[in-house]
Amino acid sequence: MDYALQQFLNAASFGAEYALIALGLAIVFSLMGLVNFAHGEIIAIASYAAFFLILVGIDNPAVVALVAIAASVLGAILFERVAFRPVRHAPVATGLLTAFGVSIVVQNAFLLFVSPRPRPLPVFGGLNRTVELGGLKVQLLQLLEIGVTLAAISALLVFLRRSTLGLAMRAAARDFNTVRLMGLRANRVIATAFAISGLLAGIAAVFIVARRGSIEPDMGFMPVLKAFVACVIGGFGSLGGAVLGGFVLGFVEVGILLVLPQSMGGLKDAVVFSLIALLLVARPQGILGSRVELGDKER
């Protein structure tokens, strides 16, 4: 029983992490058809912000976490303003290449100015302790990860359902031009989407750093790849799909680990990525389907 619960929490916390990151990808994709592969660097920015804070002697974990999250929000807004806005109306491939460009630039900046090697960052290590919950021993980090993710998703849901800007974003995901015809500034709607994606990535970054206890320049790559898979599983661009896909992936991964013999544990990612391949074959147009928009003849 204890073991089953432990595996369940394991899967749910991985799923929560993927869901947070996948939501950020999906919210940007739903509005502008951009798969932001530089999303991983937003996670890295949050983590390096935490690293620098420790360097200057601020080590209160709560303060460090808040600053890290703020840094990723700013980073995401900056990416949009500097890199993605100029290519907003360019073909999909241009946006994708831009995202890779941003990713390479940021990774190399950390590589040059900090270190190409992993650096220890144990500031959130306290989260790895176990706590008693109704007689069961569970990891605090996993509880927090699941709880905070559910809270963040709920808050996002309220924002999208209740606020006018949220309504506009929901509408814009289907029909951006008509939202602009209602006088909403495209720049503001898109900047908000990036800010939200940065916020979610920042939260995820705190958990990622807590788990690994270290940072390195390309630390965002794997999480974003997983989030991408989550989006594909759930249906690209759909926010609900991103959350669902994230949790499905978490459970599939943990499930595969349980099924595979110990000696073949290394095959986990191979199995998972075979999943991407299969899904890409099944619905290729769902991912980077070209959008030609002209006047009111776009549907």
Partner 1 sequence: MLEIRGVSKSFGGLKALDCVDLAVGPAEISGLIGPNGAGKSSLVNVISGLLAPDGGDVRLEGRVVSGQGPERVARAGIGRTFQNLRLFPALTVLQNIEVAAQTARECRPDRAVAMDLQAEIAALGLAGAEQLDAGTLSYGDQRRVEILRALALCPDFLLLDEPAAGMNEAESAMLATAIRSIRDRHGVGLIVIDHDLHFIMGLCERIAVLDMGRKIAEGTAQEVRHDPKVIEVYLGAPA
Ligand X SMILES: Nc1ncnc2c1ncn2[C@@H]1O[C@H](COP(=O)(O)OP(=O)(O)OP(=O)(O)O)[C@@H](O)[C@H]1O
Rule CB under 8 A: which residues touch partner 1? 164, 167-168, 170-171, 174-175, 177-186, 294-296, 299
Task: Report the nearest approach of ligand X to the CB of residue 291 (Å).
Answer: 13
Q: Which is nearer to ligand X, 261 or 295 (CB)?
A: 295
The CA-based angle 94-33-188, given to 5 degrees, is 100
Closest CA to 47 of 25, 23, 28, 64: 64
295 in contact with ligand X (CB under 6 A): yes
Q: Give the residue at shortest CB distance from ligand X.
A: 294
Beta bridge partners of 137: 132
Q: Which does 261 bind (CB under 5 to 8 A by kind): partner 1, ligand X, none?
A: none
Cα Dmax for the chain: 63
Residue range at the interface with ligand X (CB under 6 A); choices 2-10, 58-66, 235-243, 289-297: 289-297
Beta-carbon contacts of 228 under 8 Å, excluding residues fewer than 6 positions away, are: 22, 25, 35, 37, 276
Residue 144 or 171 having the CB closest to partner 1: 171
Q: Is 297 in the site for ligand X (CB under 6 A)?
A: yes
β 136-139/214-215 pair status: unpaired
Nearer to ligand X (CB atom), residue 282 or residue 294: 294
- Residue from 56, 134, 294, 299 in contact with ligand X (CB under 6 A): 294
Q: How far is the CB of 297 from ligand X (least distance, A)?
A: 4
Nearer to ligand X, 4 or 292 (CB): 292
Q: What is the C-alpha radius of gyration for the chain, rounded to an integer number of angstroms?
A: 19
Q: Which stretch binds ligand X (CB under 6 A): 32-40, 167-175, 245-253, 290-298?
A: 290-298
CB closer to partner 1 out of 96 and 157: 157
Q: How far apart are CA 123 and CA 115, in angstroms?
A: 19
List interacting residues with ligand X (CB under 6 A). 294-295, 297
